[in-house]
Amino acid sequence: MALSFRRSEALSRVDMPAARAELFGVAELARELDDTDLLVRATTLIASRPESGSVDGQQVAVLRQALGTLHARALQDERYPLLQGLLAKSLLYDADPQERTQLARAALIEARALPTAAQRAEVLTRCHEALPGPEHQEERLAIATELMDLAVNTGDPVALLSAHAAHVETCVERGDMDGVDSAVSSIDVLVERVREPFYRWYSRVVHAMRAFVRGELASSDRLLHEARDNSGAVSTELAEHIYRVQRKRHLAHARPGAGS
């Protein structure tokens, strides 16, 4: 079982859809064998990628099971706030935001007590993803700032990628285009260091978004198609969701009077 998890973990870097299929099997077997550690590890990896426009019921179910297992045993597991943040993120497209918001804020509080910067950063990243919308803008800015401080202190390239990704979103929301340009340039450098297909896909998505907010619609459209056509490392649902969201913005902007 441990070997299957390690294989899935390696596979997730190049083919997350295939890895997820195997990871659900690992999680199920871990529950049957009462292996809490492996259940948590498999569940964390299952829920690690961005959401794709709808609630993944299977993912939510396994997160609830992992949280319930830790809670029932009253274990002081340092991964509990991460699972909370991942569940909050997984409920991003749920019609009722109350549970998502409560989970994310609880995870944020508990993250401050975690012993390592890497643990705190992972929870903060999930909470940043789970709290979109103008009503959370100040929270997201604070999270993005803290993520950047943590990432700079550790120097880990993946942590820096996550921090710059959060920074891009926050700068777009605030209309800070200089901040967007700086973060995108940093992402380009880090993608070459990490050299994982998922981040190469993400880099194209970020460049498409930057071109769009600058009004460079032709360039944005080209980059958007490139991202969709080079998305083998991510799920079809996620790639298509990002493509459709961006295309919807393009079409809305192109309508007569849209910019007036």
Q: Is residue 43 part of a domain?
A: yes
Q: Look at the chain and report how many structural domains it folds into.
A: 1
Instruction: Name, in order, each residue with C-beta under 8 angstroms of 14's C-beta and a sequence gap of 6 or more.
Output: 196, 197, 233
CA angle 196, 46, 159 (to 5 degrees): 45
Q: Is residue 10 part of a domain?
A: yes
- Residue 240: predicted pLDDT: 81
Confidence band of 259 (pLDDT split at 50, 70, 90): very low
Structure token pair of residue 35: 């292996």
Residue 192 pLDDT greater than 60, yes or no: yes
What percent of the chain lies above the pLDDT cut of 90? 52
Q: Is residue 87 part of a domain?
A: yes
Query: What's this model's pTM, rounded to 2 decimal places?
Result: 0.84
Single-letter code of the amino acid located at 65: Q
Domain of 78, in residue numbers: 1-92+106-113
Rounded distance, CA 39 to CA 178, Å?
A: 43
Sign of the alpha-carbon dihedral angle for 14, 203, 252, 97: positive
At residue 61, the 3 state secondary structure works out as: helix
Confidence band of 24 (pLDDT split at 50, 70, 90): very high
pLDDT digits 0-9 by tens, 63-108: 999 999 988 775 568 899 999 999 999 999 999 999 999 999 999 9
pLDDT digits 0-9 by tens, 203-242: 888 898 888 888 888 898 888 888 888 776 666 777 787 7
Q: Is residue 236 part of a domain?
A: no
The burial class, CB within 10 Å (0-12 / 13-18 / 19+), for 254 is exposed
- Residue 10: predicted pLDDT: 77
- Residue 254: predicted pLDDT: 58
The percent of the chain in helix, strand and coil, each rounded to the nearest 5, is 75, 0, 25
Query: Contact at 8 Å (CB) between 214 and 178?
Result: no
Query: Contact at 8 Å (CB) between 42 and 27?
Result: yes
Rounded distance, CA 225 to CA 204, Å?
A: 9
- Residue 122: predicted pLDDT: 93
DSSP 133: S
CB atoms within 10 A of CB 220: 23
**Lowest-pLDDT choice from 67-76, 176-185, 188-197, 220-229:** 67-76
Q: Is residue 148 part of a domain?
A: no
Q: Is residue 187 part of a domain?
A: no
Residues 114-143 have a mean pLDDT of 93
Structure token pair of residue 60: 């939510």
Residue 176 pLDDT greater than 80, yes or no: yes
Question: Which residue bears the tokens 């459209």?
Answer: 221
Query: Contact at 8 Å (CB) between 243 and 229?
Result: no
Single-letter code of the amino acid located at 94: D
Query: Contact at 8 Å (CB) between 220 and 208?
Result: yes
Secondary structure (DSSP) of 160-180: HHHHHHHHHHHHHHHT-HHHH
Q: Is residue 77 part of a domain?
A: yes
Return the higher-pLDDT residue of 21 and 255: 21
Residues 154-170 have a mean pLDDT of 91
Q: Is residue 30 part of a domain?
A: yes
- Residue 239: predicted pLDDT: 75
